[in-house]
Amino acid sequence: MSDDIAKIVLETKQIADITVCKGNLRFKCKRCAIFCCKLGGPTLAENDVQRIKEAGYVNDNVLETSARNISRHASMTQSRLRKREDGSCVFLKFNERLKAYECSIYDVRPALCRIYPFDFERINSNSLMLKFIPCCRGLNDPDGELIDKKFIAKYLLDAIFEIL
Ligand code: SF4
Ligand code: SF4
């Protein structure tokens, strides 16, 4: 099964067109953190570093720098959030009352976290293919939100522009 979801055509930092190629895919986060926040700290885009710093969260205990840039996306830096010994991101916490995982910097979380469980690949200079990351448990949940143009515009586009 292809993991392609939609072709997005750009026009100088604006969307010219979105063509959805997988019509009935739904998503609802289970807050399990298994295939996202427990897999190490995310790499940060340039805007992430500034935003998290302005919110007062950045210090030597939360950021680490890789020797080289490991991301294929242009705006990603060599910085990433640190992980704990068990591999979970330093900002992951468990809400005992809700029995669910939460991000303690949710409002300023990195762009990669905001697009998860989706990713994209450049097709050419003005278009990209949105893809899903198949292992996430929230995909194909019948109670989830339909991943259509509205979903993509509402939840994903701002973060995609930060990563591009
Ligand atoms: S994005 Fe997917 S893997 Fe991560 S917490 Fe939500 S359902 Fe679980
Ligand atoms: S910043 Fe928040 S959403 Fe991103 S990996 Fe860490 S805990 Fe998860």
CB atoms within 10 A of CB 45: 24
* Ligand 1 within 6 A of CB of 136: yes
Atom of ligand 1 at shortest distance to CA of 28? 7
Closest to 4 (Cα-Cα) out of 137, 156, 143, 132: 132
Average of per-residue pLDDT values in the chain = 90
Tell me which H or E stretch contains 50. helix 46-54
Distance 136 CA to ligand 1 centre (A): 5
For the stretch 68-119, pLDDT in tens is 777 778 788 999 999 999 999 999 999 999 999 999 999 999 999 999 999 9
- Whether 90 is in the pocket of ligand 2, judged by its Cβ within 6 Å, is no
Structure confidence by residue, pLDDT tens digits, 121-133:
999 888 999 999 9
Sign of CA dihedral 104, 109, 110, 115: positive
Q: Is the Cβ–Cβ distance between 77 and 30 less than 8 Å? A: no
- Looking at the predicted structure, is the pLDDT value of residue 52 above 70? yes
69 vs 156: which has the higher pLDDT? 156
Residue 110 Cβ inside 6 Å of ligand 2? The answer reads yes
Over residues 24-35, the pLDDT tens digits come to 899 999 999 999
